Amino acid sequence: MNTSNSLPPRRIFGRLSIAVGNTLQIAGIVAACAALALARSVQSKPAAIVAMIAAWVLLYFFCHGIAHWAIGRLLGIRFAFYTVGGTGNPEGYPSGMRWVFEHLPFFGVQTDKASMQRASPMAKAIMWSAGVTSSAVVPTLSALCAWSGRVPGSRLFLIFAVIWAIATLASNWTSRTGDYSKARRALRSS
């Protein structure tokens, strides 16, 4: 039941096996790297700008879920499947952008319940923190790479990327549904 103090559940568009989800996310990250290489080498200014932005967007969408999975697996946590759906942190966005982010295709990963019960509070906290941290850091590194490669427009884009990363981390830190809140709850349960 939804009350005025609760948010609607995350909109799920589909479910994918771990193998398919990892394959899609790795393909997205490879495509981002190709777009970034194109941005750094193409002679056309508009093409370079479009490729730089495409690299950032691809990394923003494809690094989050796989970061949870990779770090979780390193820490002994198993996963059941991926979900594709809107943001799990709608309150982290201003009301005008909230609707958009509730309808964009973000990868989420479902933990294996028994595995999570056996995991240490620190392992859970690190796994939860990995996704949003990668969502802030990895795309920003692509903007930094574009700037270091002197891609046209990259200085302004780097400023945007840094501000976006700070806002991503800050909104997630203060959100009751964000990954950092889940990490804090895991640590409190120790």
Q: Is residue 182 part of a domain?
A: yes
Q: Is residue 163 part of a domain?
A: yes
Q: Is residue 129 part of a domain?
A: yes
Angle ∠(184,98,86) on CA atoms, nearest 5: 70
Q: Is residue 50 part of a domain?
A: yes
Cα(123)–Cα(57) distance, rounded to whole angstroms?
Answer: 29
Q: Is residue 5 part of a domain?
A: no
Cα(59)–Cα(75) distance, rounded to whole angstroms?
Answer: 23
Concatenating the DSSP letter of every residue in 100-147 gives: HHHSS-EEEEEEPHHHHHHS-HHHHHHHHHHHHHHHHHHHHHHHHHHH
| Domain membership of residue 91 as a residue range | 12-188
Q: Is residue 73 part of a domain?
A: yes
Q: Is residue 7 part of a domain?
A: no
pLDDT band at 123 (very low <50, low <70, confident <90, very high): very high
Count of H-run helices and E-run strands, the chain: 8, 3
Q: Is the pLDDT of residue 113 over 50?
A: yes
Give the per-residue pLDDT at 190: 65
Contacts of 133 (CB under 8 A, 6+ apart): 67, 169
Cα(143)–Cα(120) distance, rounded to whole angstroms?
Answer: 35
Q: Give the strand pairing for 79-85 and 12-16.
A: antiparallel
Comparison of pLDDT for 90 and 188, the residue scoring more: 188
Please, what is the average pLDDT of the chain? 92
Integer-rounded Cα Rg, in Å, for the chain is: 17
Number of compact structural domains in the chain: 1
pLDDT band at 6 (very low <50, low <70, confident <90, very high): low
Q: Is residue 4 part of a domain?
A: no
pLDDT band at 4 (very low <50, low <70, confident <90, very high): very low
**Tens of pLDDT, residues 51-83:** 999 999 999 999 999 999 999 999 999 999 999
The type of residue at 89 is N
Q: Is the pLDDT of residue 22 over 80?
A: yes
Give the per-residue pLDDT at 5: 46
